[in-house]
Amino acid sequence: MNIEAHRIKVSGITVDVVRKAIKNLHLGVYPPYGRVRVAAPLAVSDDAVKLAVISRLGWIKRQKAKFEDQPRQSRREMVTGESHYFLGQRYRLNTKEQNGAGKVVLRNKAAIDLYVRPGTDAERREKILQQWYREQLKALVPPLLDKWQQTLDVQVADWGIKKMKTKWGACNIKVRRIWLNLDLAKKPIQCLEYILVHELVHLLERHHNDRFTAYMDKFIPKWRFLRETLNKGPLGHETWKY
């Protein structure tokens, strides 16, 4: 359980520090902008954390530079000609006006047709597309969930989909509820499966420790590749910290 979370500055770099009941210190640099995070044992002081960060400063700066070089999509205006993604595939958006409820139609593995009422603004158009993404995930998740609950011999009480700015997924161990980020609909289905398994494994091991990694290696041997695929660009305009 986390008992303390705060930030420190090391050589001009902001570092998120979280103390947990763990044995070893873990340092990571996370997309999309190179957030630096240290998970430290309860007894490790801030001075010790600073020394650990300083010892890896060159590596940290290289990782941050990689994230800064990633391509990023501009904010979507929801007009014809824009590129949008579904299950890792890029599609051309065609916005079409019609009388009636808004809807989305996937056409020829190349285009997303967005039907809206005349005069519908960009915000409303985006909401219609987001609702379509939600419906697709709601259809994709149940068979994957059934498969992996059986494989891992775990059971969730509930699951849901929501827009999250800081995580691809989350698991509330106490109530056994899993949340999946709505934007997973834009990524390859293997990435959705990886995040689902990641959160289910937390029901077997709460922390990101060696035991957790061993479970991931056993059940999703290519999880590191999938993590890299999930986090590489083009990135949306949201600020990710995963």
Looking at the domain assignment, is residue 204 inside a domain? yes
Q: Has residue 231 got a pLDDT over 80?
A: no
Looking at the domain assignment, is residue 237 inside a domain? no
Helices (H), 56-178: 57-68, 122-152
Q: How confident is the model at residue 235 (pLDDT cuts 50, 70, 90)?
A: very low
What's the structural domain count of the chain? 2
Same domain, 60 and 130: no
What are the residues facing 89 on neighbouring strands?
Answer: 86
Looking at the domain assignment, is residue 197 inside a domain? yes
Q: Has residue 240 got a pLDDT over 50?
A: no
Dump pLDDT digits (tens) for 120-132: 999 999 999 999 9
pLDDT of residue 72: 53
The first and second tokens of residue 29, run together, are 């640099």
Same domain, 199 and 125: yes
Looking at the domain assignment, is residue 73 inside a domain? no
For residue 141, give the CATH number of its domain.
3.30.2010.10
pLDDT of residue 1: 46
What are the residues facing 30 on neighbouring strands?
Answer: 35
Q: Are 184 and 137 in contact (CB under 8 A)?
A: yes
Look at residue 138 and give its three-state secondary structure: helix
Residue-averaged pLDDT of the chain: 87
Dump pLDDT digits (tens) for 171-221: 999 999 999 999 999 999 999 999 999 999 999 998 888 999 999 999 999
Range of the domain at 39: 4-68
Dump pLDDT digits (tens) for 19-55: 888 888 889 887 666 888 898 898 899 999 999 999 9
